[in-house]
Amino acid sequence: MTGGRDRGLELSEPTRFDSVTGMGISATVDGREVLIGNAHLLADAGIDTVPPDAAVTSLAAQGKTPMFVAVDHRPAGAIAVADTIKTGSASTVAALQQLGLEVVMMTGDNRRTAIAIAGQVGIRRVLAEVLPEHKAAEVRRLQDEHRVVGMVGDGINDAPALARADIGLAIGTGTDIAIEAAEITLISGALEGIPIAAGVLYPFFGVRLSAMIVAAAMAASSLSVVMNANRLRGWHRTDLPTAAPQAVEPIVEVAVARWLTARVNGVGRRHRPGGMLARIFVSVQW
């Protein structure tokens, strides 16, 4: 919208607008049918999608997600969008890897974009083209690999996966439902808090305090709460040791490929890949 106004274009109000979860949008503008989204949105509408040209491939290699545009059931162009990598992401991933944890990125983006983003932050394993409603299933699949899985998320669609994970970590600047579903909330939203929130007792002994016990301890004495709060005045944050991201060649597992395998074997339901923001898994193999 801003780009159109900056170019002096006259924008029309749509008479119909639909959001297709994980795929894009469809609308009627000035009597013309408009689709904007990933290639699967166009394919579902019966619109032939030509192989991506050099420009689209180049955008994906830069970590940008190409969105295709169709007008009146004919391909009309492509738009590239990108999420800025959050400050501290690469150093946080490196710190987690130094703790012996495997970091996995789960995203609804296409394979090329996922590889580009994972390479920038040093993540080796990537789950790409995952629909929002299939995130919890991907967590379960990692658990079926005999892993203890912790997930970091902040969106509404992350809530089922946060609840499914062994440890859910919500970003404090995210949605309320994600915070409710998670067991740990990073109040500041800074990713550097993840290695600390990973805990000391749980990875080694499997010990976690019940939320009921924590609540009872907080209500036990107002005096102790005040005293502990005053102690925080003398606390100073210790920065994580500087750790550069590893140079890795990401290994991508595409959701549609797993769906096709399941269909060939005669099991599973249809999984349509789509686009969503990237999320980080932290998993420990015992």
Tokens of 198: 């990973």
pLDDT at residue 272 above 90?
no
**Could you read off the pLDDT of 159-195 as tens digits, one per residue?**
999 999 999 999 888 889 999 999 888 877 777 666 6
pLDDT at 267: 46
pLDDT at residue 240 above 70?
no
**Could you read off the pLDDT of 207-232 as tens digits, one per residue?**
555 656 656 665 665 667 677 778 87
Q: What percent of the chain has pLDDT over 70?
A: 73
CB atoms within 10 A of CB 254: 17
Candidates 94, 97, 98, 144; CA nearest to 121 is: 94
Per-residue DSSP letter, 109:
S
Mean pLDDT for 143-170 is 92
Does the predicted model carry a pTM greater than 0.75? Answer: no
Q: Are 258 and 106 in contact (CB under 8 A)?
A: no
- Residue with the larger pLDDT of the pair 196 and 87: 87
Does CATH place domain 2-81 in 3.40.1110.10?
A: yes
- Residue with the larger pLDDT of the pair 34 and 219: 34
Distance of CA 213 to the CA centre of its chain: 31
Q: What is the CATH number of domain 89-285?
A: 3.40.50.1000
Q: Of 100-104, 235-239, 258-262, which range is least confident?
A: 258-262
pLDDT at 132: 85
Give CATH 3.40.50.1000 domain extents, the chain: 89-285
pLDDT at 283: 46
- Residue 274 pLDDT level (bands cut at 50, 70, 90): very low
Per the listing, tokens 């990125």 go with 105
Tokens of 166: 């062994």
pLDDT at 53: 66
Looking at residue 184, its amino acid is: I
Give CATH 3.40.1110.10 domain extents, the chain: 2-81
- Residue with the larger pLDDT of the pair 126 and 269: 126
Question: In angstroms, rounded to a whole number, what is the distance separating the alpha carbons of residues 234 and 45?
Answer: 61
pLDDT at residue 111 above 80?
yes
Question: In angstroms, rounded to a whole number, what is the distance separating the alpha carbons of residues 5 and 137?
Answer: 41
What integer best gives the mean pLDDT of the chain?
Answer: 78
- Residue 200 pLDDT level (bands cut at 50, 70, 90): very low
Helix 54-61, helix 111-121: angle, nearest 10:
30
